Amino acid sequence: MELRERRFLITGGFSLIGSHIAEKLIEAGAAEVVLLDNASIGSPVTVEHLTSSGRVRLVRGDVLRMHEVMEALDGVDGVFHTAAFLTLPISQNPWVGLDVNVRGLMTVLEACRWRGVSKLVYSSSVAVYGNALYGIVTEETPFLGVGVQPVAALYATSKLMGEQLCALYRERHAVDSIVLRYSTVYGERQHSRGVNVLHILEAYDRIRLGQRPIIVGDGREVHDYVYAGDVARANLLAMRSDLSGESFTIATGVATSLNELVRLLLRLTGSGLTPEYRSDPGRVRSAGSTEMRFSREKAAVRLGWAPEVSLEDGLGRLIAWRESTTAGATPPVTPQGGS
């Protein structure tokens, strides 16, 4: 689908990923970008800077309310579905979280069916692989639930259900869709709901206060950190493509340990502090290990996508954003949908 002069809806539009997608759509010449969000955990402040374009419209609405989604979809050509509860908020409110992740997507898909929307890009997660993190993980790797905390498994299976709902609506109602499975997403306008992103936020905030950053465990646990702007580019490439019914892992393919992450933050901030190691057996965590190798070959070959922003550069942008907030105070962190 051509993006120029088309109209798009982003659910969870006040989010980290949603705001970056909106920026890219405006740059690509979209006629209008509608940001649908109920503002219960996100804030319109996140996307204030986009409204000056005259092509971004903020709509207070809930993905669980069909009439609000139907109204927001009037005249829309494509949808980016980023609205979701991540692992931490699901642990706090599983009833609502699962409702949003599953029934919310069903509402959007049904509304797309009736409005004749051409295509939906669904924000999924590498959580759908569970603990299958040894060896090279591809889109064909099945979910392995052994050793996954119950709340992390609930999040993962809600995303698996979402992927199958997309497949069902494509099969039965010809609603085209592409699934993007993100690794740990970070960047400007960072939220605090991502379990693995908390390592970045908590360490940075302590460093800025002159306190030793805390590493839980021995620091050998690894994650794949992908910059939000790169994730947004993947979304636009997916919408532009003629593909449908495909899933893609959107990750860097680079595993970074918590030790390496904290060392990088200390260097970027010019701090001479050393990390403090602690145990926290009660901490909510997603699947994690000392090895992680996501293949991004399919995304490269079929979508033409590859990450462009290194972790060092991306963290520098995140730090600059945090430091640019009012009076240098710690900014309010906006929760969001996505992964």
- Cα 249 to its chain centre, rounded Å, is 12
Of residues 187, 62, 58, 76, the one with CA closest to residue 121: 76
b/e map of 46-67 (b: 16 or more CB within 10 Å)?
Answer: bbeebeeeebbbbeebbbbeee
Show the tokens assigned to 229. Answer: 């702007």
Catalytic residue IDs: 155
Of residues 81, 86, 225, the one with CA closest to residue 165: 81
CA distances from 337 to 121, 190, 328, 334 (A): 14, 11, 26, 10
Q: What does DSSP say about strands 222-223 and 176-182: parallel, antiparallel, or unpaired?
A: unpaired
Where does 59-185 have alpha helices with state H?
A: 66-72, 87-92, 94-98, 105-115, 150-173
Show the tokens assigned to 118. Answer: 């051409």
d(CA 135, CA 138): 10
